[in-house]
Structure 1
Amino acid sequence: MRLEAEGVISLELQASDAAPLPEWSPGAHIDLLLPSGLVRQYSLCGDPLDRQRLRIGVLLESKGRGGSQEVHGSLRVGQKLAIRGPRNAFALQAGGPYLFVAGGIGITPILAMARAAQRAGAEWQLLYGGRSRRSMAFIPELQALGEGRVEILPADEVGLLDLDAVLAAAAAGQQVYSCGPAPLLDALSARFAAAGLSERLHLERFAPAAPAPGAATGETLKVILARSGAEVEVPADCSIMAALRAAGHQVASSCEQGICGMCETRVLDGVPDHRDSLLTEGERARGNVMMLCVSRALTPTLTLDL
């Protein structure tokens, strides 16, 4: 455990038998199974080539749901923990050029991406915003990665990130990868959508996006499981995942907020009503996958590859 910035610690995890750890790629995260029973997702911010260690960064959130408080207050060096994963719902596409935009603790997946881009010889730049330098983790590590490629932009020194410049970079051909607080990601999403550039924006959220104003839970719908032929009725006030489980069907999940991708399921028939914070506009338009934990349907029936 190491203090990386004000309110931010990093944890290095090693297999208890010193065996090589699973392979992972930049953008991946793990589920950390805490002693209290809480399960929390954290992005990997180490080096994918290091098969002996997995590193995560954890921001202490006093008004959070308790996971970060347990990590900061209770975990100690040498303690044994269980993890699940790694999984990647925020993969870095090969090529570039890249513009990475990180806000606060959102630097964790971006750090691994910047390292990968540098190693691959790709063109890349990084804009890193935060409240102050004291609260921004991994600054020396980032600056050592690419001289002249990293801009450290604390709000108390330079104000908010210039999102119009980010949009201009995308219009000039850069792929933008961003992780950070909801206001930053919401603002980027709105700008890119208005400019017709949503396919060049890749986001990872630590919390689900706010529902659209007036969004209803939905009507009662019927879900058909193609592999077994079973049919399950999903009430208007119930998620598809909860209804399937209540009917005795096993569904893998982790965050259950539409941000981790573990419950992604193929749609064989029907039109999903996407309410996740993960799929791109293009993926939503294709309509062939959905997140069962939060999404519903625009048709009375859905047929799933289950």
Structure 2
Amino acid sequence: MTNSDSSDAVAEVDVIIDGITNEADGIISLTFASLTGDKMPRWEPGAHIDVLLGPELERQYSLCGDVNDERTLRVAVLREPDSRGGSQWVHERLSVGDKIRIRGPRNHFRLVEAQEYLFIAGGIGITPILPMIADCEARGSRWSLVYGGRSTDSMAFTTQLAKHQDRVRFWPQDENGHIDIRGFLGDPRPGTAIYCCGPGPLLDAVEDVCSQWPTDALHLERFRPRAGAMEGPESPFEVELEQSNMVVTVAVGQTIVDACKSAGVHIPTSCGEGTCGTCETVVLEGVPEHRDSYLTAQERESNEVVMPCCSRSRTSRLVLDL
């Protein structure tokens, strides 16, 4: 996963739902168009948007349409049995013609330059991979994909992907078991970029296999925090806000974001659990206790940034660029 880009567009736009399509068992795609007929924001493979479903309900969804389509944006949403409310709202309450607000696009999962691309997708994790494949095809890059799901019926966009023939390997779990990650990746080799998106256990397994690869080979995007990522003992600490010229105390059970909000300082957030990168903040002094599932191991070790929606401090005071 890459760092956020300060140039990412964060404007909010009112759109209309132009189409809803059943893509697989429990998965629908939604197409958004401008209310005024204007061009939609430009984006690159790996980007996502925030969909503002209600005053306290917003979710991030990867863009999975055509980057050259200036009229619409497309996302796909899995209806999750243990939904926190977002996917249930989308599946049950949204209809064609409804007006809704979106924010972005942002891109923390950019496609880097490489000699070869290996894509691993699980379930709804196929969504950010689709425009990456289209980009590889347009540039004539070498690539291959293994795409797993609970069953064939639960896997979206298979007809679209089947056109690529032997470059794509479908892996329904009820027929083949778990993806043979090591067999798909082969031996570590320079110039290869590995992109993976899907459920936590798949990403953890890919990280384990890729421990022998060059450190910059693997790129992940998580929809949920790593197991236990936000857990751990807590003590109060101080946060000095350099720009605001104030110091706030972060209590046990309180986030940096909430402590700052109480002091009148707003930090933009979205997921609230350290997966989207929206709240990424520069650390000027002190050592963060990283509890996010967004930064790479190298980025955590550098301690240059922190996700204040979930992380804490190893030192008695953090100085942040706020």
For normalisation by structure 1, the TM-score amounts to 0.94
Residue 148 (structure 1) shift: 2.0
2:295 pairs with 1:276 = no
Q: Equivalent of 2:141, from 109, 119, 122?
A: 122
Partner of 1:176: helix, strand, or coil?
strand
2:56 pairs with 1:40 = no
Distance 2:27 2:279 in 1: 29
Partner of 1:14: helix, strand, or coil?
strand
Residue 170 (structure 1) shift: 4.2
Residue 192 (structure 1) shift: 2.7
Partner of 1:116: helix, strand, or coil?
helix
CA RMSD of aligned residues (A): 1.8
Within-5 A mapping of 1:179-198: 179-193=197-211, 195=212, 197-198=214-215
2:176 pairs with 1:176 = no
Residue 199 (structure 1) shift: 2.8
Q: Percent identity among equivalent residues?
A: 48
Partner of 2:299: helix, strand, or coil?
helix
Q: Equivalent of 2:105, from 72, 82, 86?
A: 86
Distance 1:35 1:75 in 2: 12
Alignment check: 8 A CA contact 1:199 1:282 kept = no
Distance 2:298 2:135 in 1: 25
Distance 2:252 2:115 in 1: 43
**CA separation of 1:12 and 1:276: change in aligned 2, threshold 3 A:** same
Residue 216 (structure 1) shift: 2.0
Residue 166 (structure 1) shift: 4.5
2:307 pairs with 1:291 = yes
Distance 1:52 1:277 in 2: 33
Higher strand share: 2
Within-5 A mapping of 1:145-160: 146-160=164-178
2:277 counterpart residue number: 261
Aligned partner letter, 2:195: Y
Aligned partner letter, 1:275: R
For normalisation by structure 2, the TM-score amounts to 0.89
Equivalent pairs counted in the alignment come to 303
Distance 2:119 2:170 in 1: 12
Runs of 4+ aligned structure 1 residues displaced above 4 Å come to 169-173
Structure number with greater CO (CA < 8 Å, separation at least 6) is 2
Cα deviations by residue, 1:217-240 (Å, 9 ceiling, x for unpaired)? 432211111112211111132111
Q: Which runs of 5+ in 1 are unaligned?
A: none
Distance 1:35 1:245 in 2: 20
2:113 pairs with 1:97 = no
Q: Which runs of 5+ in 2 are unaligned?
A: 1-19
2:240 pairs with 1:221 = no
